Amino acid sequence: MTAQQILILSNYLSQSFRNNVSILEVKNFKVKWCKENSIISEIMRSQLNDYLKAPILDIGAGLGDIAFNVFPNKVATLLDINEVTVKDYPLSINHTRITSDFFDYKPNQKFNTLLISHSLQFIDEDIYMLNSKIEKFDAKYILLVINDNFGFMKELLNWVNEKVDSSNPEIDIEGFPHNYSLEKKINFSATLACPTYELLAEQISYLMVVDYKTVKSELVSFLKERLKEPSFPINQSIKVFIRNGNK
Ligand SMILES: C[S@@+](CC[C@H](N)C(=O)[O-])C[C@H]1O[C@@H](n2cnc3c(N)ncnc32)[C@H](O)[C@@H]1O
């Protein structure tokens, strides 16, 4: 292999590592260590039903548990770059799973709502491309679930920015979504709790999309120094956006 080919391959690998998580990682985080999806689902069911207008496109749907538990009776498409099956999580008869990169997805139907729950970090590499893709859907509502990055998450972000060359944490993007206005913001907090600091460090590596092996020892020391136990709250919010001119 030539030096040029090695460079291209290494760029490709670091790019694909930074921009992807496996369904097993998603499952471990959501089912074992941070029960945020039950909180998100409860808020959506009780306070946001009016903004979940079918047909719904769930972008980076993961297991599809939010869709299954919040809007099983509404027509929805659950899109994910990874293949997800009923062996991973049940699917409502009103829902369809599609395996595709968001940017390659060209639907032949219109959606009234786009749901982006903890998946913005995987599609925000190029904000111009993201806004143009989102605008093409012309959906009335966008529901965005995102970390607010204050408290201990802020400390972690600073640590990762200082210590790690390649990371992809979830951060709010100014100017997104273009042509939409914020209608509502509901704050909540979910606890990430692991039995050991090593497991906590592994979950943080998943959250920030960093290579666990390379940060493990330093991150574990940092966590032991800063936390009394391997647990901390993740402050988050659900933001509802309405397309301009549609109020
Ligand atoms: C952190 S998980 C969130 C899953 C789910 N929305 C939730 O809140 O439980 C992010 C999901 O986005 C998916 N994803 C990453 N990049 C994607 C892309 N380019 N297109 C579609 N899905 C993508 C991942 O496979 C993963 O399932």
pTM of the model: 0.92
Q: Is any atom of ligand 1 closer than 6 Å to the C-beta of 44?
A: no
Give the model's confidence band at 18: pLDDT under 50 very low, under 70 low, under 90 confident, else very high: very low
Contacts 24+ apart (CB under 8 A), 193-202: 193/33, 193/34, 193/229, 193/230, 193/231, 194/33, 194/230, 194/231, 195/230, 196/230, 197/223, 197/224, 197/227, 197/230, 199/33, 199/230, 200/227, 200/230, 200/231
Q: Which of these, 39, 175, 6, lies nearest to 118 by C-alpha position?
A: 39
The Cα 203–Cα 211 span in angstroms is: 11
CB 236 within 8 A of CB 148: yes
The Cα 94–Cα 114 span in angstroms is: 16
pLDDT digit string (tens) for 215-247?
999 999 999 999 999 999 999 999 999 999 876
Tell how far the Cα of 60 is from the centroid of ligand 1, in angstroms.
Answer: 3
Q: Is any atom of ligand 1 closer than 6 Å to the C-beta of 101?
A: yes
Query: pLDDT value at position 17?
Result: 47
Whether residue 10 is predicted with pLDDT greater than 90 in this model: the reply is no
Q: Is any atom of ligand 1 closer than 6 Å to the C-beta of 190?
A: no
Parallel, antiparallel or unpaired: strands 180-193 and 231-243: antiparallel
CB 199 within 8 A of CB 159: no
What residue's CA is closest to ligand 1, atom 19? 101
What residue's CA is closest to ligand 1, atom 15? 122
The Cα 120–Cα 146 span in angstroms is: 8
Return the SS3 of 225: helix
Lowest mean pLDDT among 103-112, 113-122, 207-216, 221-230: 207-216
Lowest mean pLDDT among 73-77, 99-103, 166-170, 203-207: 166-170
What kind and span of H or E run contains 27? helix 23-27
Rounded to whole angstroms, what are the CA distances from 96 to 48, 75, 79? 22, 8, 8
Lowest mean pLDDT among 11-25, 26-40, 86-100: 11-25
Q: How large is the average pLDDT for residues 42-68?
A: 98
Select 3-243's CATH number: 3.40.50.300, 3.40.50.12160, 3.40.50.12500, 3.40.50.150: 3.40.50.150
